[in-house]
C-alpha cells in the first residue's frame, strides 16, 4: 500500500514537473492579438499629410507631425488636442523632416538650413498647490488634461504631468545654396551623423564626433563633413533618404524601386557602392520604406503588397567596392493591397504595415511570421499614419480623423517552431544559421533563440563522453565479472562505484583547471595514448604467451600485476612517440596544423581510419589468418606458436597503420581534407577534455549496471560453456555477453541519460560556446549548462525565461526518451532472464 | 585458484584400479556383511572400498587414484580409488552430500572454478593426467562432455547450441557443422523433433528437449567420456524416461559417468554402480549384482531405502 502510494507519488511528481515546464513554455506559442482600445476623433479635425506619428510610453498622449510643419499632441483616450507647435523657421515650413524611432531625435531642414533637435515626452511632478481645485481631488490612477499635458494621480498620491517637449536649437547652414529635399539623422554613442540631399542632387554628410578626455572630463566635438554628387535619374529627387544607425551607409530610394547605397564610413568622402532594385517588376512601385530598430535593416513595401527586409551582408566575394551586399533577407507574408504605411517597433524587430484599405498587420521580421492582423473600421476613413508605441504594447493608427489605438498582446513575437528549430537569417549574418545568443551589450541587439546549437552541444558532449566512457566501462565490467577473482572484485566494484559519488563539480573543476591546460601542451602524446595503451596490453598478452606453459600456469595468479604494468608502459610509449608522430603527421606543430595553416590532411584521416583499419585487420586475421595458423601450426611447440602469434600481432599492427596511412594519403590526394569537420582549430576547453572527464562520470553507472547484468547471467550457462571446453574469454564473448546484451544496452542507455543531463562538468570545461561544430577540439554548450548559466539572469516570464524552460523541457524529453528505451529493454531482458 | 598438486609426489605410484584389501575375502557372499563401516566413516576413519571383481576385466577410460578433495578445511573426498570402464555406463549413487557430484566435477576440473578447493591424488583420462601441473584445462575439457542438473541451453539457436564446441574450436565449415549438428541431434534422439526448426532459440524447447539438446551439445565434440550430473533431476517422469532411453542408446559408443540420486534410475541405465557415503567410496560393482546381491549390508540398507 505504502509502496503503491510512493510509486504513484513519484509518477505524480514527475508529471507535475512536466506539466510545470509545459505551463511555462506554452505561452511562447500562443497566438498574439490586437485588441481595440480606443478610437476617439482627433480634436481639430483630420490632420493633413502626416510625416510621422508617435505616442508616449503610458499611452496617454499621441502626436502627429504633418508635412506643413505642425506638430500636434492629442490626448489619446478622448482625442482632445493638447498642443500644437509650428515647426518653422522664419515663417517657412520645413522642406524636409526626419524623426528617429527612439530618443526623439529629429532633423528639420529649411532651405539650406539644417536644424537638429529632439521631440520627446517630459515627465514632471506638480505640487498640489499649483493645481486648480477640481484637479486636486483627482482619484488615484485617473487622468485629466492640465495645460498642454496630461496629469495623473500616481499610486503614491503624487501628480505626474506628462507633456510633449520640443527642443530645437538654432539651425546651421549647409555648404550649399540648394534647398534640402530629404534629411535623416542618426545618433549613436559615438556621436551624431546627419545626411541631407539637396534638390541639385548633392548628398551632404556631416558627422559630429564627441570625445571625452578621461582625465579632465573635457568634451571635444569634431566635425567631419563631405558631400557627393548623386546622379539623379529621370525620376528626379528620390522619395526616401535613410541613414544607417552607425552613419556608415546612406540609402536613397526612388519610387520605381531603385535603391542606391552609399558607403559613408568615411564621412568626408561618401561613395556610391551599390544599386539594388527593391521591387520585383517594373510595374510595381515602392510605396513604403522604413528602418527597423538599429537602423540597419530596411523594410520595403511595394504596390503589390510585398514586404521585404533588406540588410547588408559581407559575403566572401562581393562585387561591391566595400565588400558588402544588400540582400532581401526576409520576405514577409504579403498584404492584400499596396503597402501604405510601415511602423517599426522601437524595441523589437516587429513592424506594422497598413494598406490603404485599412488592413493592419503586425509582423515579426526575423521569424517572418505575422503576429496579428486587424482591419481598421470602415467608418474611420483613409489611413494617415501607423506607429507602434514605445513599449510595444499598442499600435496607433490615424484613419480619417480617428486616433485608433490597439493594444498589442504579443509577448513572444519572435518565437515560432521554425525560428527555434530551423536556421534563421539574422541581421548581419551571411546566411540563415542556427544561433543561440540571448544577450549582448546594446539595446538594438536581437536575441537569437535557436535551440539546435544547444541540442547539438548536448549530443556532442554525450557522443564524445560515451565514446570514451562506454567501451572502458563495458570492458571493465566484463573483466571484473568474468575474469577477476571474486575477492578482488569485491574490492574493485565498490571503488568504481565510489567514483560515481565524486561531485561532478569537482570533476568539472579538474577538467577545466587541470586537464584542459595540461592536455593543451601535450596534444600529440594524449592522442597517441589511444593507440599505445591498447597496443601495450596486446603486446603484454602476447609476451605472456612466450612464457613456458607450466610457468604461465603458475604465474597466472599474478597476471593482474602484468596488467598494472601495461598501463604505464602504454603511457610511456605515448610519451616517446608523441613528438615523432607530431612531426610525421601533424607537420611538427599540431595546433597550427589543426588550424589548417600547415601540413596535409593525412593525419586528420588517421583519426578515423586508424580505428577502422584496426577493426578491418582484426576481422581479416580472425577470419583467415588464425584458422590457417591453427591448421598448419596448431601442433607446433608452445614457444614457437607464441612467437608466431607475436609476429602476427606486430604484422597486424603495421598493416593497420599502413592501411590507414595509405587510405588517408589517397583521400588527401583526392583533395579531401577533413580538417574543419571532426578535427579543427584547437580550443583549450574542448570536447576531448570533456569527453575524458565526463567519461569518468558515466563510467561508474555503466560499469555497475553492466556488471550486474553480466553477473545475473546464470552460472549454469558459464559452466555449460566452460564444460564444453571454451576459454573464459570465449565464454564471455559467446555466451555471457549475448545473454546479458539487453542489460548492457540498458546500462549504456542509463549512462547516456546521465551524460545528456550532466551539467557541471560541461559548464566548467566545455567553453560554453554554442556552436555547431563536430570538431573534437572545439567547445560546445549543452542544454543543461545553458540553463545553469542563463536562468539566473533571465527575467521571469520573458521570452528568454520561457526559452530556457523550453530547453529544460527538451532535456526532460531527451532523458525521458533515453531512460524509457533503457527501461523497455531492461524489462525484455528480465523476461528473457526468467526463461534461463 | 588454490588447487594444490603438491601432495602428488607423496602419493605412491598408482596401481590400476583394483579391489580394495577386503575384496578377495567376500568374493561370492550371498548375504551382505555388516561391519559398521558407515559408523566408522562417520567417525572419520578410513575404510577401504568394496570393489567387485567384475571391474577387473574392464578397460578403464578414466582412472581415479587416491583422490582427495577439500573445500577449505573440510575434506569432501577421501582416497577415492576407482576406474571408469570404457564404453559402459557407470552410475554414482549415494545420499545427498556424499560427494558424488563433487567427484564428477573433478573429472573435468570444473571444481577449479571454486575458490577454496584443494585436491590431492590423481585422475587419468586414457592415461593422460588430469591434475598434473601444466595440464591445459581447456584442452582437457574438450575431451569430455558434460551435462548438468538443470538444462542449460545457451540463448542462441538450436543449431548453434549443438555446434558450440566446434565453434569455439574455430570450425567455420558449414558442411562440417551441419553434419555434426545432425549426427549429435540424432545421437541425442532429438533430431526428428527439431530438424525443421534448427534456427529457433534453444530456449523455446521443453525442459526434456532442452536437456537432450545439452546432451547433443556434449556429444558434438566426440568426447572420450560423457559426464552426466543428475541429468534428470529437473525433469518430469516422461522426459526422464526419454533421457534414460537415450543413455541406453549411447551406451557402447560413449563412456558415461552419471551421478544420480535416483536408485531406480541407476539400476535401469547403468552397467556399473558406485555407492558413495560421506566422501568415501563404499561399494562399487556391476549394477545387477550390486542391486540384487550387495556385498555390504550398508549398501543393501541404502538401496532398500533404510537410510539416505
- Residues of chain B contacting residue A734, judged by C-beta atoms under 8 Å apart: 154, 164, 167-168
Mean pLDDT for chain A overall = 88
- Provide the pLDDT confidence category of residue A574 given band limits of 50, 70 and 90: very high
CA distances from A681 to A592, A636, A668 (A): 8, 53, 18
Q: What is the mean pLDDT of residues B176-195?
A: 91
Q: What is the DSSP track for A532-580?
A: HHHHHHHHHHHHHHTS-HHHHHHHGGGHHHHHHHHHHHHHHHHHHHHHH
Average pLDDT, chain B: 83
Residue B105: closest C-alpha in chain A: A723
Candidates A498, A514, A566; CA nearest to A538 is: A566
Tell me how close the Cα of B188 comes to any Cα of chain A, in angstroms.
Answer: 16
Residue B22 scores a pLDDT above 80: no
A820 reaches B (C-beta below 8 A): no
Residue B301 vs residues B44, B48, B119: alpha-carbon distances, Å: 21, 19, 31
* Four-point Cα dihedral A175, A179, A181, A183, nearest 10: 40
Is B44's Cβ below 8 Å from some Cβ in A?
no
The reply to whether B230 falls in a domain is no
pLDDT, greater one: A835 or B95: B95
pLDDT of residue A836: 59
Q: pLDDT band at B216, cuts 50/70/90?
A: very high
pLDDT of residue A834: 62
Decide if B43 touches A, using CB distance below 8 A.
no
Q: Chain B within 8 Å of A628 (Cβ-Cβ)?
A: no
Instruction: Give DSSP secondary structure letters for A6-39.
Output: HHHHHHHHHHHHHHHHHHHHGGGGSPPEEEEEEE
- The candidate with the shortest Cα–Cα distance to A399, out of A410, A379, A421, A383, is A383
| 3-state secondary structure at position B263 | helix
In chain A, the residue whose alpha carbon lies closest to the alpha carbon of B171 is A627
Orientation angle between helical segments A799-835 and A2-25, nearest 10 degrees: 150
Where are the domain boundaries for CATH 2.130.10.10 in chain A? Answer: 34-48+279-433
Q: With an 8 Å Cβ cutoff, are B138 and A553 in contact?
A: no
| Helix axis angle, B237-250 to B207-220, nearest 10° | 20
Report the pLDDT averaged over residues A255-274.
90
Q: How crowded is residue B198: how many other Cβ atoms within 10 Å of its Cβ?
A: 17
- The confidence score (pLDDT) of residue A805 equals 95
Whether residue A719 and residue B150 make contact (CB cut-off 8 A), yes or no, is: no
> How far is B305 from chain A, CA to nearest CA, in Å?
31
At A140, the pLDDT band (50, 70, 90 cuts) reads confident
Assigned CATH for A452-523+673-835: 1.10.3720.10
Q: Could B218 and A724 be called an inter-chain contact, meaning their C-beta atoms sit closer than 8 Å?
A: yes
C-alpha cell at A457: 552541444
Residue A489 touches partner B, C-beta closer than 8 Å: no
Residue A91's SS3 state is: coil
Q: Report the length, in residues, of chain A.
A: 836
Mean pLDDT of A249-259: 92
By the CB < 8 Å criterion, does B196 face chain A? no
- Position A604 pLDDT exceeds 90: no
Q: What is the largest CA-CA distance in chain B?
A: 60
**So what's the pLDDT on residue B4?**
41
pLDDT tens digits for A700-757? 999 999 999 899 888 889 989 998 888 888 999 999 998 888 888 889 988 988 888 8
Q: What is the pLDDT of residue A25?
A: 93
- Write down the pLDDT at residue B30: 52
Whether B2 shows a pLDDT value over 60: the answer reads no
pLDDT at residue B31 greater than cutoff 80:
no
Contact A725 B156 (CB under 8 A): no
pLDDT for A113-122, tens place per residue?
A: 888 888 888 8
Closest chain B C-alpha to A536 CA, distance in angstroms:
26
Which residues in A lie closer than 8 A to residue B224 (C-beta atoms)? none
Chain B positions in Cβ-Cβ contact with residue A828 (cut-off 8 Å): none
Q: Would you call B154 and A721 a contact, using CB atoms and an 8 Å cutoff?
A: yes
Taking an 8 Å cut-off on Cβ atoms, the answer to whether B148 and A723 are in contact is: yes
- Asked if residue B80 is part of any domain, the answer here is yes
Residue B11 predicted with pLDDT over 70: no
Domain containing residue B88: CATH number: 3.40.50.300
Q: What is the mean pLDDT of residues A790-795?
A: 90
* Its pTM surpasses 0.95: no
**Number of domains composing chain B:** 1
pLDDT tens column, A646-690: 999 999 999 999 999 999 999 988 888 888 888 888 888 889 899
- Please list every residue in chain B whose beta carbon sits closer than 8 Å to the beta carbon of residue A556: 1
Confidence class for position B23, pLDDT limits 50, 70, 90: very low
As its CATH architecture, domain A95-112+174-277 has: Beta Barrel (2.40)
For residues A624-640, average pLDDT = 79
pLDDT at B1 over 50: no
Count Cβ atoms within 10 A of the Cβ of residue A2 and give its class: 0-12 exposed, 13-18 middle, 19 or more buried: exposed
SS3 A744: helix
**What is the nearest CA distance from B289 to chain A, expressed in angstroms?**
33
In a domain, B262, yes or no: yes
Count, in order, helices (H) and strands (E) of chain A: 21, 33
Asked if A488 reaches chain B (Cβ–Cβ under 8 Å), the answer is: no
Q: Using an 8 Å Cβ cutoff, are A761 and A514 in contact?
A: no
Per-residue pLDDT of A456-499, as tens digits, reads 999 999 999 999 999 999 999 999 998 888 888 899 899 988 88
Torsion sign (Cα): A646, A647, A648, A654:
positive
Residue B49 lies in a domain: yes
On whether residue B129 sits in a domain, the answer given is yes
* Cβ-based contacts under 8 A for chains A and B: 95
Confidence of residue A832 (pLDDT cuts 50, 70, 90): low
Share of chain B above pLDDT 90, in %: 30
Pick the CATH number of A34-48+279-433 from 2.130.10.10, 3.30.470.20, 1.10.3720.10, 3.30.300.90: 2.130.10.10
Q: Is pLDDT above 80 for B275?
A: yes
Tell me the nearest-neighbour CA distance from A531 into chain B, angstroms.
Answer: 28
- List, for residues A638-649, the tens digit of each pLDDT value: 788 888 889 999
Provide the pLDDT for residue A306: 92
- For the residues B56-63, what does the mean pLDDT come to? 88
Widest CA span in chain A: 121
B134 contacts A734? CB cut-off 8 A: no
Confidence at B308, pLDDT banded by 50, 70, 90 = low
pLDDT on residue B17: 39
Flag whether residue A7 sits within 8 Å of chain B, measured between CB atoms.
Answer: no
The whole domain housing B112 covers: 1-6+32-134+257-308
Assign A835 a pLDDT band (cuts: 50, 70, 90). low
pLDDT tens across A358-406, in order?
A: 889 999 999 998 999 988 887 667 788 889 998 889 999 888 888 889 9
Q: What are phi and psi of A558, to 5 degrees?
A: -100, 10
* CA A504 centroid distance within chain: 26
- Which of the pair, A87 or A382, is modelled with greater confidence? A87
- Classify A69 in phi/psi space as left (phi over 0), alpha (psi -120 to 50) or beta: left
User: Environment class of residue B13 by beta-carbon count within 10 Å: exposed (0-12), middle (13-18) or buried (19+)?
Assistant: exposed
Q: Which range (A208-212, A543-547, A566-570, A607-611) has the least confidence?
A: A208-212
What is the location of CATH 2.40.10.480 in chain A?
95-112+174-277
Reported as a pLDDT band with limits 50, 70 and 90, residue A38 is confident
Q: Provide the β-strand partners of residue B284.
A: B51, B274
Contact residues, A window 696-735, toward B, CB-based 8 Å cutoff: 714, 716-717, 719-727, 730, 734-735
Q: Where are the alpha helices (DSSP H) in A192-268?
A: none
DSSP element (H, E) containing A746: helix A737-757
Amino acid at each position: 500500500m505504502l509502496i503503491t502510494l510512493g510509486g504513484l507519488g513519484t509518477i505524480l511528481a514527475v508529471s507535475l514537473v512536466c506539466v510545470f515546464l509545459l505551463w511555462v513554455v506554452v505561452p511562447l506559442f500562443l497566438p498574439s492579438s490586437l485588441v481595440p482600445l480606443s478610437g476617439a476623433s482627433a480634436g481639430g479635425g483630420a490632420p493633413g499629410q502626416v510625416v510621422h506619428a508617435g505616442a508616449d510610453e503610458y499611452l496617454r498622449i499621441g502626436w502627429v507631425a504633418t508635412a506643413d510643419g505642425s506638430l500636434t499632441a492629442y490626448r489619446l483616450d478622448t482625442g482632445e488636442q493638447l498642443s500644437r507647435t509650428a515647426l518653422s523657421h522664419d515663417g517657412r515650413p520645413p522642406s524636409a523632416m526626419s524623426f528617429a524611432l527612439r530618443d526623439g531625435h529629429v532633423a528639420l531642414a529649411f532651405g539650406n538650413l539644417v536644424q537638429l533637435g529632439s521631440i520627446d515626452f517630459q515627465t514632471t511632478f506638480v505640487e498640489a498647490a499649483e493645481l486648480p481645485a477640481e484637479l486636486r481631488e483627482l482619484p488615484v490612477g485617473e487622468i485629466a488634461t492640465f495645460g498642454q499635458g496630461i496629469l495623473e494621480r500616481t499610486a503614491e498620491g503624487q501628480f505626474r504631468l506628462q507633456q510633449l517637449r520640443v527642443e530645437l536649437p538654432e539651425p546651421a547652414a549647409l555648404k550649399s545654396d540648394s534647398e534640402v529635399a530629404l534629411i535623416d539623422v542618426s545618433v549613436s554613442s559615438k556621436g551624431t551623423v546627419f545626411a541631407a540631399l539637396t534638390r541639385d542632387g548633392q548628398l551632404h554628410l556631416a558627422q559630429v564626433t564627441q570625445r571625452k578626455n578621461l582625465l579632465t572630463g573635457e568634451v571635444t566635438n569634431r566635425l567631419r563633413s563631405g558631400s557627393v554628387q548623386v546622379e539623379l535619374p529621370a525620376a528626379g529627387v528620390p522619395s526616401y533618404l535613410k541613414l544607417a544607425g552607425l552613419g556608415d551607409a546612406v540609402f536613397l530610394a526612388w519610387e520605381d524601386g531603385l535603391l542606391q547605397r552609399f558607403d559613408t564610413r568615411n564621412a568626408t568622402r561618401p561613395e556610391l557602392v551599390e544599386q539594388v532594385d527593391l521591387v520585383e517588376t517594373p510595374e510595381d512601385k515602392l510605396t513604403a520604406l522604413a528602418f527597423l530598430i538599429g537602423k540597419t535593416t530596411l523594410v520595403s513595401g511595394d504596390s503589390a503588397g510585398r514586404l521585404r527586409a533588406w540588410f547588408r551582408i559581407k559575403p566572401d566575394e562581393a562585387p561591391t567596392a566595400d565588400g558588402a551586399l544588400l540582400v532581401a533577407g526576409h520576405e514577409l507574408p504579403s498584404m492584400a493591397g499596396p503597402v501604405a504605411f510601415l511602423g517599426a517597433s522601437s524595441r523589437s524587430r516587429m513592424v506594422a504595415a497598413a494598406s490603404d484599405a485599412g488592413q493592419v498587420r503586425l509582423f515579426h521580421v526575423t521569424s517572418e511570421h505575422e503576429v496579428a492582423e486587424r482591419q481598421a473600421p470602415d467608418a474611420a476613413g483613409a489611413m494617415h499614419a501607423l506607429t507602434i508605441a514605445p513599449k510595444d504594447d499598442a499600435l496607433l493608427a490615424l484613419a480619417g480623423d480617428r486616433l485608433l489605438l490597439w493594444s498589442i498582446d504579443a509577448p513572444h513575437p519572435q518565437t515560432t517552431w521554425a525560428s527555434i528549430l530551423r536556421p534563421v537569417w539574422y541581421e548581419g549574418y551571411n546566411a540563415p544559421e542556427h544561433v543561440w545568443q540571448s544577450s549582448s551589450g546594446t539595446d538594438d541587439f536581437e536575441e537569437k533563440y535557436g535551440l539546435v546549437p544547444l541540442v547539438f552541444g548536448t549530443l556532442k558532449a554525450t557522443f564524445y563522453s560515451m565514446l570514451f566512457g562506454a567501451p572502458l566501462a563495458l570492458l571493465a565490467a566484463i573483466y571484473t565479472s568474468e575474469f577477476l577473482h571474486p575477492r578482488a572484485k569485491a574490492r574493485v566494484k565498490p571503488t568504481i562505484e565510489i567514483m560515481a559519488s565524486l561531485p561532478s563539480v569537482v570533476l568539472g573543476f579538474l577538467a577545466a583547471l587541470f586537464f584542459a591546460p595540461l592536455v593543451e601542451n601535450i596534444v600529440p602524446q594524449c592522442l597517441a595514448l589511444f593507440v599505445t595503451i591498447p597496443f601495450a596490453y596486446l603486446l603484454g598478452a602476447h609476451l605472456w604467451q612466450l612464457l613456458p606453459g607450466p610457468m604461465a600456469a603458475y604465474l597466472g595468479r599474478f597476471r593482474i600485476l602484468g596488467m598494472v604494468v601495461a598501463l604505464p608502459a602504454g603511457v610511456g610509449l605515448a610519451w616517446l612517440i608523441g613528438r615523432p608522430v607530431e612531426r610525421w603527421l601533424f607537420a611538427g606543430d599540431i595546433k597550427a596544423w589543426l588550424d589548417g595553416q600547415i601540413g596535409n590532411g593525412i593525419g586528420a584521416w588517421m583519426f578515423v581510419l586508424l580505428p577502422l583499419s584496426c577493426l578491418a585487420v582484426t576481422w581479416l586475421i580472425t577470419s583467415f589468418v588464425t584458422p590457417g595458423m591453427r591448421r598448419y601450426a596448431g601442433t607446433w611447440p608452445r614457444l614457437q606458436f607464441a612467437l608466431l602469434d607475436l609476429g602476427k600481432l606486430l604484422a597486424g599492427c603495421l598493416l593497420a597503420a599502413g592501411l590507414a596511412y595509405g587510405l588517408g594519403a589517397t583521400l588527401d590526394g583526392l583533395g579531401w581534407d577533413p580538417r574543419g569537420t571532426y578535427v579543427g582549430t584547437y580550443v583549450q576547453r574542448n570536447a576531448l577534455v570533456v569527453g575524458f572527464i565526463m567519461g569518468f562520470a558515466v563510467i561508474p553507472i555503466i560499469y555497475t549496471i553492466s556488471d550486474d547484468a553480466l553477473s545475473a547471467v546464470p552460472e549454469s550457462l558459464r559452466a555449460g560453456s566452460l564444460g564444453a571446453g571454451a576459454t573464459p574469454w570465449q565464454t564471455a564473448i559467446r555466451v555471457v555477453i549475448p545473454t546479458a546484451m539487453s542489460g548492457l544496452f540498458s546500462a549504456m542507455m542509463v549512462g547516456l541519460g546521465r551524460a545528456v543531463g550532466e551539467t557541471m562538468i560541461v559548464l566548467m570545461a566545455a567553453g560554453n560556446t554554442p556552436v555547431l561544430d563536430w570538431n573534437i577540439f572545439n567547445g560546445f554548450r549543452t542544454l543543461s549548462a545553458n540553463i545553469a548559466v542563463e536562468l539566473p539572469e533571465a527575467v521571469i516570464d520573458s521570452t528568454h525565461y520561457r526559452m530556457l524552460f523550453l530547453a529544460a523541457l527538451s532535456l526532460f524529453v531527451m532523458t525521458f526518451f533515453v531512460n524509457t528505451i533503457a527501461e523497455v529493454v531492461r524489462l525484455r531482458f528480465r523476461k528473457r532472464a526468467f526463461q534461463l | 585458484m588454490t588447487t594444490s598438486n603438491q601432495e602428488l609426489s607423496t602419493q605412491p605410484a598408482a596401481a590400476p584400479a583394483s579391489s580394495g584389501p577386503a575384496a578377495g575375502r567376500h568374493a561370492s557372499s550371498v548375504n551382505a556383511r555388516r561391519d559398521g563401516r558407515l559408523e566408522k566413516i562417520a567417525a572419520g576413519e578410513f575404510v577401504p572400498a568394496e570393489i567387485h571383481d567384475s571391474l577387473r576385466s574392464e578397460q578403464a577410460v578414466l582412472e581415479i587414484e587416491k583422490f582427495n578433495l577439500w573445500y577449505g578445511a573440510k575434506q569432501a573426498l577421501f582416497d577415492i580409488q576407482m576406474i571408469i570402464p570404457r564404453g559402459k555406463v557407470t552410475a554414482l549413487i549415494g545420499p545427498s552430500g556424499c560427494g558424488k557430484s563433487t567427484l564428477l566435477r573433478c573429472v573435468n576440473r570444473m571444481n577449479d572454478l571454486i575458490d577454496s578447493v584443494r585436491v590431492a591424488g590423481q585422475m587419468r583420462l586414457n592415461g593422460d593426467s588430469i591434475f598434473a601441473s601444466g595440464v591445459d584445462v581447456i584442452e582437457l575439457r574438450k575431451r569430455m562432455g558434460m551435462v548438468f542438473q538443470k538444462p542449460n541451453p545457451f540463448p542462441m539457436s538450436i543449431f548453434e547450441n549443438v555446434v558450440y564446441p566446434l565453434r569455439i574450436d574455430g570450425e567455420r565449415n558449414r558442411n562440417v557443422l551441419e553434419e555434426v549438428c545432425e549426427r549429435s541431434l540424432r545421437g541425442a534422439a532429438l533430431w526428428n523433433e527439431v530438424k525443421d526448426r534448427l534456427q529457433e532459440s534453444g530456449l523455446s524447447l521443453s525442459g526434456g528437449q532442452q536437456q537432450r539438446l545439452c546432451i547433443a551439445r556434449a556429444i558434438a565434440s566426440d568426447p572420450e567420456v560423457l559426464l552426466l550430473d543428475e541429468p534428470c533431476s529437473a525433469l518430469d517422469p516422461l522426459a526422464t524416461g526419454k533421457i534414460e532411453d537415450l543413455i541406453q542408446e549411447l551406451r557402447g559408443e560413449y563412456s558415461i559417468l552419471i551421478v544420480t540420486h535416483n536408485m531406480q534410475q541407476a539400476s535401469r541405465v547403468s552397467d556399473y554402480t558406485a555407492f558413495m557415503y560421506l566422501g568415501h567410496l563404499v561399494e562399487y560393482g556391476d549394477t545387477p549384482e550390486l542391486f540384487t546381491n550387495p556385498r555390504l549390508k550398508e549398501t543393501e540398507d541404502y538401496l532398500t531405502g533404510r537410510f539416505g
